[in-house]
Amino acid sequence: MSGKNRLIVLASRPKGEVGPENFRLVEAEIPEVGPGEVLVRNRFLSLDPYMRGRMDETKSYAAAQSLGEVMIGGTAGEVIESRNPKFAVGDPVIGMFGWQLYGKSDGSMLRKVDTTQVPLSAYLGCAGMPGVTAWYGLNRIVAPKTGETVVVSAASGAVGSVVGQLAKRKGCRVVGVAGGESKCRIVTGEYGFDACIDYKAGRLYEDLRAATPDGIDGCFENVGGEVFDAVLRRMNAFGRIAVCGLIAGYDGKAMPVHNFRSVLVNRLRIEGFIVAEHMNAWPEALRELGALVAAGELKYRETIAQGLENAPEAFIGLLKGRNIGKQLVKLDRE
């Protein structure tokens, strides 16, 4: 293999907001492939909010990322060398190789995918981890019935947009919350939500009330903070809330919940979850999501940064909500 591998490591832990100084781009040798192993050239890197948690040293649901190590991340690429009979050169594969151009694997955490009907990049979005996250939280926690009202925060995002579309398919009234008019237009126009609240417009609770005349039965929470508090005020009896992310508090900002009393008054069930801990749900979810994407029935958008060196800036943008849909980094320039 000619050339070098390039990777981005965690240079320092953020104090508050993430900055470019927290990352460092380094070069390394391309890994040698041993017996049973495969070498993958990554084409796309997935950027996801959970990575922010890994950058801190404090207790989170996963071990903190070590300083000096390659940043964690899902990747979509192509087998370029194989000493494993299960993989052939040219196979499109999804892995967790992190922020780098090449990855080596014994095949155990590598998934071969079919790109004839579903584009490779979609396997990092609605036909991959974010899609399964949406599927699991909606079906296994919120479990909405026809006619119920479901609210989704970060509705234009890779997860939220799938939650809303799946809930619509179940016959729910679906209300999104997103930042800014243009995102809201995509949420209602493209993804078919019944309504979308722009939380930046300064009338969060009033707008939410107007959009949920029958109250809220289910909530898929990606944000926390003020949005979550407004939702709590509108919850109906026996409502269910899947807590998938609390991005409002990711930079250590205080994020008090003021309307917790609603949990008692309305006998709510709130459940935090991490999709990687529910692997038994993945096959069914991936089958369903892949079929919907192939049939053009699940809409998605991608924001694609060009080149590994631009991953830090794209990630910072993601945390600030600058992306629309799934944030990816394209790792090759051809």
Q: Taking the complex as a whole, how short is the minimal distance between the CB of residue 203 and its own copies, in angstroms?
A: 22
Q: Which is nearer to its own copies, 267 or 287 (CB)?
A: 267
List 16, 34, 57, 59, residue binding its own copies (CB under 8 A):
59
Please name the residue that has the structure tokens 């694997």. Answer: 105
Q: Is 317 helix (H, G, I), strand (E, B) or coil?
A: helix
CA atoms within 13 A on the CB side of 314: 23
Cβ within 8 Å of residue 101, ≥6 positions away: 5, 6, 7, 41, 42, 308, 331
Q: Which residues between 272 and 291 bind its own copies (CB under 8 A)?
A: 272-274, 277
The span of 65-73, 74-82, 237-245, 290-298 binding its own copies (CB under 8 A) equals: 237-245
- Under the binding rule (CB under 8 A), the answer on residue 216 touching its own copies is no
Q: Which of 312, 280, 306, 49 is nearest to 158 (CA)?
A: 49
List 243, 281, 291, 294, residue binding its own copies (CB under 8 A):
243
DSSP string of 152-186? EESTTSTTHHHHHHHHHHTT-EEEEEESSHHHHHH
List 93, 162, 227, 268, residue binding its own copies (CB under 8 A):
268
The span of 59-67, 77-85, 170-178, 180-188 binding its own copies (CB under 8 A) equals: 59-67
Q: Which is nearer to its own copies, 4 or 258 (CB)?
A: 258
- Under the binding rule (CB under 8 A), the answer on residue 264 touching its own copies is yes
Q: In angstroms, what is the C-alpha Rg of the chain?
A: 20
List 266, 299, 303, 304, residue binding its own copies (CB under 8 A):
266
Q: What are phi and psi of 8, to 5 degrees?
A: -115, 125
Q: Taking the complex as a whole, how short is the minimal distance between the CB of residue 104 and its own copies, in angstroms?
A: 31
- Under the binding rule (CB under 8 A), the answer on residue 269 touching its own copies is yes
At 24, list the tokens.
Answer: 């460092």
List 128, 144, 224, 325, residue binding its own copies (CB under 8 A):
224
The span of 119-127, 199-207, 246-254, 306-314 binding its own copies (CB under 8 A) equals: 246-254
* Measured distance between the N- and C-terminal CA atoms of the chain, rounded to whole angstroms: 18
At 9, list the tokens.
Answer: 């490591």
- Under the binding rule (CB under 8 A), the answer on residue 205 touching its own copies is no
Q: Which of 327, 307, 315 is nearest to 101 (CA)?
A: 307
The span of 22-30, 152-160, 270-278, 291-299 binding its own copies (CB under 8 A) equals: 270-278
- CA dist 27 to 12, 21, 41, 70, 309, Å? 18, 17, 15, 11, 12
Which chain residues interact with its own copies by CB under 8 A? 53, 59-61, 224, 228, 237, 243-246, 249, 254-258, 260-261, 263-274, 277
